[in-house]
Amino acid sequence: MKTVGRLAALAAALAICSALGACGGTYGMDAREHVITVNASAEVKVVPDKASFSVTILTQGSTAEEASSANAGPTNAVIEQLKAAGIAEEDIQTTYTELSPVYGWGDAAIDDSMDIYPGGGSEIVGYEMSTTIEVAGAEIDEVATLMQACIGAGATGVDGPRYYVSAYDDAYADALAQAIEASREKAQVMAAAAGVTLGHVVDITEGYQYTGYRYAANDAAAAGGAEGGMAEMEIAPGQVSIEAQVTVSYAI
């Protein structure tokens, strides 16, 4: 009898769950039957007008003090050269500094005439100091001149340029509008194939937005006039793609 009672109770519980599930399922199915949801994207090609780059000053010495002292001169010279070229002080940032020992073999004594100390080994044979300076807010047509000026002032390495668009927000808005228009075209094709009429927008969700090309406006711009220490070089920025992604649901 107990078994029969338990089975009866279980049957009653299942009946209630089934009824509740039917209600929920009908509501969800009804909602899905009345919309078409599509994903769409669009991109706008833009010629970048701003750039950033970094320069490195690497120096060596037989002692930590010598390596550090040797680094100070060219580092200060690079910063002064950038300021003289019109780069705003807030667009010049020291992002990395490291002073470290150089290891070699015991019989590889430090020679002041050596530019690069021997590597390997387990004995400290010298020291080297590296300083990295990040330069932002440069005009595209001034990047090559600025890089040359930094090298002429004592920089031993250059990394960049990295491109930015000062009118990024306008370009993204254009891409966003195109993406929404593309979503309607896709939904219209689906609606026609399904034999239904496409209605108003029910929901719009913006997708992932890459903001790496956005330039945070800084009124100071490079004015040029710096003289470089290398052969003339040309910077070709080309174009960058600014993309917008959307998910749109339309009533049917």
**CATH number for the segment(s) 50-164:** 3.30.70.2970
pLDDT at res. 237 = 82
Evaluate whether 57 touches 78 at the Cβ level (below 8 Å): yes
User: Cβ contacts of residue 47 below 8 Å, gap of 6+?
Assistant: 237, 238, 239, 240
Sheet with 92-104, side-by-side order of all strands: 92-104, 123-139, 50-61, 157-164
Question: Which residue has better confidence, 100 or 18?
Answer: 100
Q: What is the CATH class of 35-47+167-251?
A: alpha beta
Digit-coded pLDDT (tens) for 122-173: 788 899 999 999 999 899 989 999 999 999 999 999 999 999 999 999 999 9
For 65-108, write each residue's pLDDT tens digit: 999 999 999 999 999 999 999 999 999 999 999 999 998 875 55
Helix or strand holding residue 206 (H, E): strand 201-206
Residue 199 predicted with pLDDT over 70: yes
Please, which residues have CB within 8 angstroms of residue 193's CB and are 6 or more apart in sequence? Answer: none
Q: Is 80 exceeded by the pLDDT of residue 222?
A: no
- Whether the pLDDT of residue 62 is over 50: the answer is yes
Write down the mean pLDDT value for the chain. Answer: 81
- CATH 3.30.70.2970 in the chain is located at 50-164
CATH 3.30.110.170: which residues of the chain? 35-47+167-251
**Alpha carbons 162 and 137: distance in angstroms, whole number:** 11
What's the per-residue H, E or C state across 120-131?
CCCEEEEEEEEE
Q: Which of 17-26, 30-39, 189-198, 207-216 has the lowest mean pLDDT?
A: 17-26
